[in-house]
Structure 1
């Protein structure tokens, strides 16, 4: 590996590790591909993360054949910058996905950092956020948080009996439209309805506690990540999510303006997102980032490295070492970044 060559921005091809649920047609359409894998509902963009229990599945490959994970390890300052490296170590701090649900996802949740470290020997948990790009079904529904406080024993009974109807009925059903965003803290039970297409930002791990595993996963062991449901369900948020509480994490529409932050302040320690609706030109400060182009065309002109033309369906990784990058053109995109190092909590 050549760490002396400074990293620069580059286009990333589709990276769709096989999943247990159907979907992916909207990803193929966005990217202009004629092929849509039936079980390719997730495109892992700029991924230095593997599927749970896997050695390589999920990792992104750069144009020169190197894994992004290895390139970052070889030149962490060039890719991440000194401040992010000091705060997070050799870690991109972010996984971005294109996710198109061809069927409703099961009810599930994700552990927080403390649970992931103590119970799963993982570096972090999985807080996430959804930027809704498109819906291709009349049922434009996502599910988030219990409507009322739930007794842990009641929930454990639903899981033991695989009572899907009870689990789904207990959640808040939320109708979403393109431009909406949903912040999903770790522990909160959730599901995504069929036909919803999102750009997902998340902490860089693949940890899911699947409450509703029957007809989705081959067995319960995969659903509780091998630690048993009595232990796994300790990470679940059993509290009720009122309309007022939901309003703190669900943002309606992208709003007006060329650059908008669609996520609540609670997301700041985990990741950052911007809607970019550029009509002429915008400047991106030096930072590790991932850009997903949704419409239009533009040229990215980094301070260091060659210009890169992009258009609808382009996914781009931007290293800190590229310096200030000018977005020159007319384009709509989602720009994703890891947390500001100043917002990263100190390790315990």
Structure 2
């Protein structure tokens, strides 16, 4: 007989990147030896990067095994109806010590046709930002293929793109096709469709220790780019001990909770819920058990869990489908 489902944590999948740094270790207390770790994949079913349960009776099982064992009890009826027995989202913490490449992601149709993958709609929640840090996102004015290619060739692409200053708590929602780059000095929580398809178009002329630049995807990107201007920043106002919606799209819904007292949360749809702690710490109570979480930790609540109580002082992202 299968073990009863409970709030689940997974072993972080750590990724070294040419632009990565040390904040996932120093700021989020991840167990890391490298000085260029750029990403901690908190929940993933990307091929060869399948998250594994960290604690409890189901320790050692991966997400796909849990889906096979529990199906709707784990994913929720709402998810199974939309995505079948697939885990549709990927959750990350990202530390950009240097600028990431200027890049974009294809939509579902292109990604399916070219890569047999989901597209990559995503959102960023800024957890920490050094002074004067910024992101690059979208075009300043409506553009076109010709203008884009001309500036790409002249290495002046940034001149036609938006550079936006950021601070802790800022939220950005990026639809597929939006050209973008996370800037240096920023730690973000990222929620996205399950996809590792990225079209890199400019990498600041960076080279590795062997003098080699990373692969660019100039041709693939041309038909995937949205050349129109786009509004990506999401304005919202937090209310203590309430779950405030900041993003609601066909792929995920994200709320922000500013917690400073006991709060009861009930499942909003028949789907799993994920909580990402972006500041402080909290205790989660379910069926007389207490689970403790601190900044930089992520917990998945299987769909069968309909109600929890959280206590503490924390900022929490609450994500569902």
- Between 1:272-281 and 1:305-314, the stretch displaced more is 305-314
Deviation readout 1:102-133 (Å, 9 max, x if unpaired): 100111000011111122222x1001111111
- For 1:270 and 1:10, locate their aligned partners in 2 and report how far apart those are by CA, in whole Å: 21
1:76 offset after TM fit, Å?
A: 1.6
SS of the residue corresponding to residue 14 of structure 2 reads: coil
Deviation readout 1:265-295 (Å, 9 max, x if unpaired): xx42121111111222223323412212233
1:108-127 pair list within 5 angstroms: 108-122=103-117, 124-127=118-121
1:77 offset after TM fit, Å?
A: 1.4
- For 1:13 and 1:30, locate their aligned partners in 2 and report how far apart those are by CA, in whole Å: 18
After TM superposition, the score normalised by the length of structure 1 is 0.81
- For 1:258 and 1:31, locate their aligned partners in 2 and report how far apart those are by CA, in whole Å: 23
Number of the residue aligned with 1:39: 36
1:234 aligns with 2:223: yes
Name the structure with the higher strand share: 2
1:309 aligns with 2:292: yes
- Between 1:285-294 and 1:109-118, the stretch displaced more is 285-294
Number of the residue aligned with 1:296: 280
- For 1:329 and 1:273, locate their aligned partners in 2 and report how far apart those are by CA, in whole Å: 20
Give 1:29's match in structure 2, choosing from 26, 29, 50: 26
Gap regions ≥5 residues in structure 2: none
1:219 offset after TM fit, Å?
A: 5.8
- For 2:197 and 2:89, locate their aligned partners in 1 and report how far apart those are by CA, in whole Å: 14
Give 2:190's match in structure 1, choosing from 200, 208, 215: 200
Number of the residue aligned with 1:185: 175
Deviation readout 1:136-155 (Å, 9 max, x if unpaired): 2x232011111122231332
- For 2:19 and 2:64, locate their aligned partners in 1 and report how far apart those are by CA, in whole Å: 26
The count of residues paired between Structure 1 and Structure 2 equals: 310
User: Over the residues paired in the alignment, what is the CA RMSD in angstroms?
Assistant: 2.4
Name the structure with the higher helix share: 1
Question: Residue 181 of structure 1 contacts residue 250 of structure 1 at CA under 8 Å; is this kept in 2?
Answer: yes
Give 2:256's match in structure 1, choosing from 263, 271, 275: 275
Question: Residue 120 of structure 2 contacts residue 195 of structure 2 at CA under 8 Å; is this kept in 1?
Answer: yes
1:316 offset after TM fit, Å?
A: 1.4
SS of the residue corresponding to residue 258 of structure 1 reads: coil
1:98 aligns with 2:98: no
SS of the residue corresponding to residue 19 of structure 1 reads: strand
Number of the residue aligned with 1:343: none
Gap regions ≥5 residues in structure 1: 51-55, 340-348
